[in-house]
Amino acid sequence: GKGIKILYGVEAYLVDDTAKAVFGDKECGFDDEYVVFDIETTGLSSVTDKIIEIGAVICRKGEILDRYDTFVDPGTPIPAEITELTSITDEMVRGAPKIKQALMEFLEFCGDRAAVAHNASFDTGFIRTACKENGLEFRNTYIDTLAMSRFANTDLKRHNLDALKEYFDLEDFHHHRACDDAEITAKILT
């Protein structure tokens, strides 16, 4: 009587598969200032790998107002494949701030602005883990441009920064360098 038919031996799950691009409670718009950021790391695990670079730009109405970029000394050698991908070497991070100092500077740079990142769950996962390990908090509302692109650019098969740069006919950039990735993400967003 309820329009449901039982199929014995069948197991079903309901999943909310709608894309979510905004995480947090802060109301924000394109007329407000927001921070676009990116990180480079020693690997893919926020638990075992370390941040080696943080780059960010403050934007309003598509204009870049300020930049923040720092290497981070991970306290461990950078794997060869990461150096090949990012061009960041052990020598470049030697003497750079340790993660706690870099995070405090980054969080101060962000203030209470909304944060934007491409594949934000990756970047914010590392930031949150490092903050927790250092007695800090990352509470900013954040926006994922990867999810936004998948929703808005349905004709694209790939939604990485290189594909979006080509799609929007933007200038070349040094991919896998934090500040360059942050700047191109800001241009893609606007």
Judge whether 118 counts as a catalytic residue.
no
Say how far apart CA 129 and CA 120 lie, in whole Å: 14
Contact criterion met (CB below 8 Å) for 137 and 173:
no
Say how far apart CA 144 and CA 10 lie, in whole Å: 36
Per the residue annotation, which of 118, 159, 175, 176 is the catalytic one?
176
Residue 13 Rama label (left phi>0; alpha psi -120 to 50; beta): beta
CA 104 from centroid of its chain's CA atoms = 17
Q: Which residues contact 71 (CB under 8 A, 6 or more apart)?
A: 52, 53, 88, 92, 93, 96, 97
Which amino acids are annotated catalytic? Answer: 176
